[in-house]
Amino acid sequence: MFGAGPLAQRRKDVNFSVNKGLWKYLSGSIGRLLLLVVSATALSFWLITASPMNAVDAFLGEVNVSDAQRAHIEEQWDLNKPAAERYVKWAKNALHGDLGQSITYHIPVTQVLGERFKASLLLMGAAWVLSGVLGFALGILAAVYKGSWLDRIIRTFCLVLAATPTFWLGLLMLVVFAVMLQWFPLGLSMPIGRVAAEVTWAQRLHHLILPALTLSITGVANIALHTRQKLVDVLDSEYVVFARARGETKAQIVRRHGLRNISLPAVTLQCASVSELFGGSVLAERIFSYPGLGSTAVEAGLHADAPLLMGIALFSVLFVFVGNLTANVLYGLLDPQIREGGKADA
């Protein structure tokens, strides 16, 4: 009873310190995000302007126009102005939510990003969950049966996956499961000739399976191998030896002592894999003709669509940053030492 007051005050001080540290970290993250956005968009704009692709030529194709008409198009798209002035104008408009008009699709860039992100989010979300679940499960199995034939098969499988290019794996799965076995469609996100409102979720899932598996398999290797090594270290520790001496079974040891210790690296790798998924989606969507942000980025590059490329670059920076920020926040929630700054109270 006498210790209730000081204990409550101590908990209040700890919670205040945690909240203060969290707000300090979030404010610093916002500053880093602004610096990252400016750097990434400026570099992307410079690469687009330095590209040999010409937006007017890509837009006109084989159509011949006069010099006056070409000059009018360039003036309409501000291509006749210096690159620095165009970037400043784009940045000011972007602060107000205006990312410009897409040259390829002739609609606002925000509308293109909104429509294509829905398909990409479904694909990357399914691949993200599959890679995490499969990698975590395979890593635990390999560690529990360390040195067995199952461990060797899982490690070999992961090493082969880590060395396999995404585009080659996608083509292989397309040939085997779509052409030879005909279990899945060749591509797209829905059947050809069907109105989107008439497509069922079962049909969408049928078209999603192959690209999601292709995108997820490449991320399984890292999570499985890291999870295996962390769990092996835990199972070889002294407190686990003591737990065995007390009569705990292997399943109880993994559940009580292993899962908590291997969750941190698994969460870190899983959230950090967002950037890999975003990059891999470009190849996966291109192979399976999946209408997401990845295939849109390829089309924008082929048509020198600078507004759309800048919008995708900005969106990708924000998307990857949120994934890394989520990993850091979850770190603090899972590990009290990190949440309290690593300070142990006496």
Predicted local distance difference test score (pLDDT) of residue 16? 47
Other Cβ atoms less than 10 A from the Cβ of 4: the count is 8
Predicted local distance difference test score (pLDDT) of residue 153? 92
Domain count, the chain: 1
Indicate whether 33 belongs to any domain. no
DSSP 118-147: HHHHHHHHHHHHHHHHHHHHHHHHHHHTTT
Name residue 64's amino acid.
N
Buried b (16+ CB within 10 A) or exposed e, 130-144: bbbebbbebbbbbbb
Q: What is the pLDDT of residues 254-290, one digit of tens each?
A: 777 777 778 777 777 777 777 777 777 777 888 888 8
Alpha-carbon gap, residue 299 to 203, rounded angstroms: 26
Buried b (16+ CB within 10 A) or exposed e, 56-78: beebeeeeeeeeeeeeebeeebe
Name residues whose C-beta falls within 8 Å of residue 346's C-beta, 6 or more positions apart in sequence. none
Indicate whether 138 belongs to any domain. yes
Indicate whether 91 belongs to any domain. no
Indicate whether 243 belongs to any domain. yes
Query: CB of 284 within 8 A of CB of 214?
Result: yes
Predicted local distance difference test score (pLDDT) of residue 332? 63
Predicted local distance difference test score (pLDDT) of residue 29? 74
Q: Which domain holds residue 196?
A: 4-28+115-339
Indicate whether 260 belongs to any domain. yes
| Among 74, 289, 93, CA closest to 190 | 289
The DSSP symbol for 148 reads S
Indicate whether 153 belongs to any domain. yes
What is the pTM assigned to this prediction? Answer: 0.73
- Residue ranges of the chain with per-residue pLDDT less than 50: 1-4, 7, 9-10, 13-14, 16, 18, 341-346
Q: What is the mean pLDDT of the chain?
A: 78
CATH of the domain at 218: 1.10.3720.10
Indicate whether 122 belongs to any domain. yes
Indicate whether 230 belongs to any domain. yes
